[in-house]
């Protein structure tokens, strides 16, 4: 996975280097980006919860079968 370079992101939004757009357009752009990212984060959380639930079910069944698993 590629690491996000915060300095490069800040340069994108630097007034000197970014394309000219009205304040309202820029506000809409950032609001839209945040809405998209919030939705992506929420879906990722749901996916992690589903994986955790499945893992717990497998751990429970293994314990029922006499296999002890160390929890970290």
Instruction: Write the pLDDT tens digit of every residue in 54-67.
Output: 999 999 999 999 99
Q: Is 30 exposed, middle or buried (0-12, 13-18, 19+ CB in 10 A)?
A: exposed
**Residue 64 CA neighbour count, 13 Å, CB half:** 6
- Quote the CA–CA distance of 32 and 21 in Å, as a whole number: 15
13 three-class SS: coil
- Quote the CA–CA distance of 14 and 6 in Å, as a whole number: 12
Q: Read off the DSSP letter of residue 16.
A: T
Instruction: Write the pLDDT tens digit of every residue in 15-71.
Output: 666 678 899 999 999 999 999 999 999 999 999 999 999 999 999 999 999 998 887
């Amino acid at each position: 996975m590629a690491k996000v370079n915060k300095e490069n992101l800040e340069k994108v939004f630097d007034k000197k280097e970014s394309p000219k757009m009205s304040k309202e357009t820029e506000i809409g752009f950032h609001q839209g980006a945040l809405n998209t990212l919030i939705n992506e984060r929420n879906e990722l959380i749901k996916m992690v919860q589903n994986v955790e639930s499945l893992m717990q079910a497998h751990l429970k069944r293994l314990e029922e079968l006499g296999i002890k698993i160390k929890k970290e």
